[in-house]
Amino acid sequence: SIPGLAQSSVFLLALHLLQGSSASFVQLNGNGYEGVIVAIDPAVPEDETLITEIKDMVTTASTFLFEATEKRFFFKSVSILIPENWKNITQYKRPKQESYKHADVIVAPPTLPGRDEPYTKQFTQCEEKGEYIHFTPDFVLGKKQDEFGPSGRAFVHEWAHLRWGVFDEYNDDERFYSASSKKIEATRCSTGITGTNGVYKCQGVICITQRCKIDANTKLYEKDCQFFPDKYQTEKTSIMFMQGINSIIEFCNEKNHNREAPCLQNKMCNSRSTWEVISSSEDFKGTVPIAAPPPPPVFTLLKISERTVCLVLDKSESMKNYNRLNRMNQAVKYFLLQTIENGSWVGIVDFDTTAHIRSKLIQIKSNSERRKLLESLPTEASGGISICSGIESAFQVIKEIYPQVDGSEIMLVVAGEDKNIRNCMDKVKQSGAIIHSLAFGPNADPAVTEMKLCQTWSLFSRHSQSSWLERQTKLLMSSILGWHSSITGDIDRSQCYVSRGGL
């Protein structure tokens, strides 16, 4: 049987890999949202105007959000993720953790042709955060403003879905209801919004609006009847009904909320107003209003590029025990032959007392490059240990291709303890690299974990059958390094990054 300690290690790893795989990176710092990711889908044709319009949309939304939330929230920093197939521009930087999988807003072609309506992929529980907002390029470019209103206002409407788990205050399936006043009312919030009811019909290019008839069975207006808000309004609520109306600048609150309307907000949130839900959120509880206007959002343009990985492999005396060197090599072999994608750049460094660059970065185009890299794996374990030498050599390898190491990945495999590892902690923390580490055995340097660069996976067993440990090592290597920043391939956010510095 598998020893309990090793079983626990793999079980905890599985839990770690499964949790939050597509979670947002957004954090509320003071009153400003940081880490918002807007990703442009690779299927969107290249158009730099789209980037400008995204910036304008978010900037306008930030001011609108600030006023709508009684001077509490605004957008502080936003990353725009640009597809790999768009041309390179100097101001584009390489992503660190940011990927399509973690995008809060996705700009992509319509799900159904001709359907440009903004929407949020939202779950069914009131107050539960959504997954992402979807805008189409035509919507962001302002081509659908007559239908959906200004993009900045629509963004705030969708952000309320995404961040606070509120719902729409209209209902296309139940457009009217019988109010306590015995009148037929349009489903809306608030009831102060004025308008007319009618059936809009077109024959060719000629369109007319007819009066609504009452259905004998439902005692409500016929199915095709719609509510058309008046162009000029004085009512200020609600953003979750029709944010495109100029006068609307607030969310419905407990005083003006229409609790009778058969809207999703009432159905899902027990008839509470949107502002009641928002004001009970952790965001709201952790902030107070601020007097000064917020600064405009800071934008970072990130462009997906080829993946860059440097393997940093321990070949010190500690790797002799329990056939660790061979097991590590088997896992690396699996990674190189089965996991890493064509187009990626891979280099190999090993270390004992000093580091040795075994392979500079090679771009994988076929099995030929994969086999060449396999020839660079260490064949003998001996000597002391210098983890810092290994990491610094990895930086050197990466910088031969890229001036900065931001967004590059280092996979550190270590079994021994290094008393000097703290000498390079600051340099590593400032590098901007994504650091993965895999600890072989109970004596692997605890300082690797103390760096707090990322999760450190421990794997050790004295089980007599080495095949089990070999399988788990392959699983770890594949799981940790088998992610890729693409619209379909990013499966894991367990890696980490360290803040950008001067390397």
Q: How far is CA 13 from CA 16, 227, 305, 336, 395, in A?
A: 5, 54, 28, 22, 28
Sheet strands side by side (includes 409-414): 355-363, 345-351, 308-314, 409-414, 434-440, 456-459
- Give the integer Cα–Cα distance in Å for 378 and 386: 16
Bridge-based pairing of strands 409-414 and 355-363 is unpaired
Write out the catalytic residue numbers. 158
Written in H, E and C, the secondary structure of 209-226 is: EECCCECCCCCCECCCCE
Closest CA to 361 of 304, 329, 388, 401: 401
Residues 6+ apart with CB under 8 A from 252: 169, 189, 190, 237, 238, 240, 241, 258, 273, 274, 275
The answer to whether 481 and 410 have CB atoms below 8 angstroms apart is no
The answer to whether 377 and 319 have CB atoms below 8 angstroms apart is no
- Give the integer Cα–Cα distance in Å for 234 and 192: 8
- Give the integer Cα–Cα distance in Å for 100 and 42: 10
Q: Hey, how many other C-beta atoms are within 10 angstroms of the C-beta on 347?
A: 26
